[in-house]
């Protein structure tokens, strides 16, 4: 067993939930780790790293980002998808480009054949000259005419191919620009929606806080008013009691006989 094989097999046991040693799990691995110091060290390091990571993973299991915006994702994905018509145009443009490339390849191949024919003709020219002249065709197009016509057609094909290629490139560029604009628009809408939602949420929180504060103040005002009224009633009672005592004392003073002078 090589060291890499051993470590690869030992990886299975490196999990916070698995307390077994490699020897318990795999006798071959135990034999290897007994004689290989570097693997032993690597495994010890890995176990220590795992113990640190286990603590962090457990703690971070409760970590959450804010909820994902499923609505924005849906809108972005469905908006950014090219329309069926645009996909058809793109496909046609690509097919035309492929066709033109194939045509160009054929034209090049034709040129090579012509060049080869030229070389053969050059080599065979003396023999050709020595051979008896065949009688000219009685009627119909001459060879030069046919070549000229073929050249003409080839040039027109080339021009048409260039034009179609240019148009295909323009269509692709336009489609890319439309894609970019749509994507930017979707991103902008998403940002706008998110911001608007946040502002709304903040406004709702603020209003709720204000409502709570007003309710608390009103409760305190009511409580204070009640306490004040109770205090006033209590004071009035005390005043009335004092007046009664005062009047009683005045009456007693007026009706009582004067005390003799001790001197």
Partner 1 sequence: MEAIQTEAAVLARAVAGDRDAFDAFVRRWERPLGRFLLRVTGSPHAADDVRQATFVRVLERGSTFRGGGVASWLFRTAYNIAIDHRRRAKLRAAADVDSVVIADPSPCPSDDVACADERAFVRRALDRLDAEERALLWLRVAEGLPFAAVAESVGLPESTARLRFVRALGRLRREIGTRALTDVGGAR
Give, as ranges, the residues between 3 and 42 that touch partner 1 (CB under 8 A). 4, 7-12, 14-16, 42
Asked whether position 177 contacts partner 1 by CB under 8 A, the answer is no
Give the one residue of 23, 27, 31, 49 binding partner 1; rule: CB under 8 A: 49
59-94: b (≥16 Cβ within 10 Å) or e: eeeeeeeeeeeeebeeebeeeeeeeeeeeebeeebe
Whole-number Cα distances in Å, 136 to 91, 140, 169, 211? 51, 11, 49, 110
| Distance (Å, whole) CA 101 – CA 94 | 11
Of residues 203, 197, 179, the one with CA closest to residue 72: 197
Asked whether position 43 contacts partner 1 by CB under 8 A, the answer is yes
Q: How far is the CB of 101 from partner 1 (least distance, A)?
A: 28
- Would you give the binding string for partner 1 spanning residues 243-262, x where CB under 8 A is met? --------------------
Asked whether position 48 contacts partner 1 by CB under 8 A, the answer is yes
In the complex with partner 1, the residue whose CB is nearer, 161 or 186, is: 186
Which helix or strand (DSSP H or E) is residue 14 part of?
A: none
Asked whether position 68 contacts partner 1 by CB under 8 A, the answer is yes
Asked whether position 77 contacts partner 1 by CB under 8 A, the answer is yes
Asked whether position 59 contacts partner 1 by CB under 8 A, the answer is yes
| Distance (Å, whole) CA 165 – CA 98 | 10
Asked whether position 67 contacts partner 1 by CB under 8 A, the answer is yes
Site for partner 1, rule CB under 8 A: 4, 7-12, 14-16, 42-43, 45-50, 52-57, 59-70, 72-74, 76-78, 80-81
């Amino acid at each position: 067993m090589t060291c890499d094989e051993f470590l690869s097999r030992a990886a299975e046991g490196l999990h916070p939930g698995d307390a077994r040693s490699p020897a318990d799990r795999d006798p071959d691995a135990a034999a290897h780790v007994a004689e290989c110091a570097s693997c032993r060290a690597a495994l010890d390091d890995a176990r220590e790293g795992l113990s640190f990571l286990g603590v962090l993973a457990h703690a971070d299991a409760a970590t959450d980002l804010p909820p994902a915006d499923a609505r924005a994702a849906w809108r972005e994905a469905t908006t950014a998808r090219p329309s069926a018509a645009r996909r058809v145009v793109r496909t046609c443009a690509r097919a035309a480009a492929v066709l033109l490339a194939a045509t160009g390849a054929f034209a090049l191949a034709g040129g090579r054949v012509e060049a080869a024919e030229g070389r053969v003709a050059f080599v065979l020219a003396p023999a050709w000259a020595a051979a008896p002249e065949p009688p000219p065709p009685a009627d119909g197009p001459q060879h030069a005419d046919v070549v000229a016509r073929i050249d003409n057609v080839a040039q027109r094909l080339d021009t048409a191919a260039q034009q179609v290629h240019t148009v295909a490139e323009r269509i692709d560029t336009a489609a890319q620009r439309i894609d970019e604009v749509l994507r930017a628009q979707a991103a902008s809408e998403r940002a706008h929606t998110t911001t608007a939602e946040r502002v709304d949420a903040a406004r709702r929180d603020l209003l709720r806080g204000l409502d709570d504060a007003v309710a608390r103040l009103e409760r305190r005002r009511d409580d204070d008013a009640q306490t004040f009224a109770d205090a006033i009633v209590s004071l009035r009672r005390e005043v009335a009691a004092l007046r009664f005592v005062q009047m009683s004392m005045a009456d007693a003073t007026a009706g009582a006989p004067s005390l003799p002078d001790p001197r």
